[in-house]
Amino acid sequence: MAYYPVDLDKAVERECKRRRYSSRTTQTYLYWIHAFLEFNKKPLNQTSKKEVKEFLYHLSEKEKSGNTLNTCHMALRFLFQSVLEKKMWIDIKYSKVPERIQRFLTKEEMKKLIGKIKNWKHRLMIEFMYGAGLRVSELIHIRVKDLILEKGYGFVRNGKGGKDRIIVIPKVVCEKVKNLVEMENLDDESFLFYSDGKRVYSVRSLQQIIKNAAKNADLKDWKEIHPHTLRHSFATHLIENKHALTEVQAMLGHKSPETSLIYVHNSSPAMTNIKSPLDNL
């Protein structure tokens, strides 16, 4: 039987936390839930699939993107099915999202970007993010105890989807991290990267570091280069270096190999060792 909590926000937050969703996902879901409630004007116990459809049609008429419609749809399904336990199967077809090849940097572009970062700690953070294929949120939450520097690997704890995974740490990064730990007298429980004020870096700070470096390196479409571009580049370069798709999947922490398949498309046919049959005629 469905129930209707007095504090809806708290109920949504609790269920998100139970499922180990990120704070960003929680806030996105709450945003669309409130947008729907404001549009709908009806009490939740009088709301049906019809009202959900009307809201999605409303967003579509405002020319919202397929990604936006899908996110809103997922938020409302989560509300009714997971939080309210309402037996209302929202079987609306998801909006089609145009396929787009992810932006990535060539190895030469990556060198240029790193070379333009003058602050030694900022440069180390970018080298670590690219060299290990990390999400920006994973980088800023890495702790000293998560790193096995003498063996060149470490662990991402509670990454996307609440999963742990192993990461490779480049030799040059290992040496610099050892120096950083010693210089700043970090203990095992410490986060690896702190700003001068002994605060953990924000996602926004990393975004700005990369944006400035891309601009100073005069990279094409530098405004479109962001932290996740480094992760795309890491994966694409692994494919270029002849690593198997399953290895890339493991390094990125993807649940499905299909998610990693995009990086094969990023690589040129020559890099993926594909030869046209016309050449053999």
pLDDT digits (tens, 9 = 90+) for 65-116: 777 888 898 899 899 888 888 776 666 665 555 555 567 899 999 999 999 9
Q: How confident is the model at residue 247 (pLDDT cuts 50, 70, 90)?
A: confident
Q: What is the pLDDT of residue 194?
A: 92
- Just list the catalytic residues: 135, 160, 228, 231, 254, 263
Domains of the chain: 8-83 (1.10.150.130), 107-266 (1.10.443.10)
Residue 1 pLDDT more than 50?
no
- pLDDT tens digits, residue range 46-62? 888 888 888 888 888 77
Whether 257 shows a pLDDT value over 80: the answer reads: no
| Predicted pLDDT at 44 | 81
Range with the lowest mean pLDDT among 25-39, 66-80, 122-136, 149-163?
Answer: 149-163
pLDDT of residue 19: 87
Percent of the chain with pLDDT over 70: 81
Q: Is the pLDDT of residue 278 over 50?
A: no
6 pLDDT band (50/70/90 cuts)?
Answer: confident
Using the predicted structure, report yes or no on whether residue 251 has a pLDDT greater than 50.
yes
Contact (CB, 8 A) for 126 and 234: no
- Looking at residue 102, its pLDDT comes to 67
CA–CA distance, 267 with 270 (Å, rounded to integer) = 8
Greater model confidence, 96 or 24: 24
pLDDT at 271 over 50: no
Quote the pLDDT of residue 255.
Answer: 64
Question: Which of 23, 26, 46, 51 is CA-nearest to residue 36?
Answer: 51
- For 50, counting Cβ atoms within 10 Å of its Cβ (0-12 exposed, 13-18 middle, 19+ buried), the class is exposed
> Which pLDDT value is given to residue 274?
46
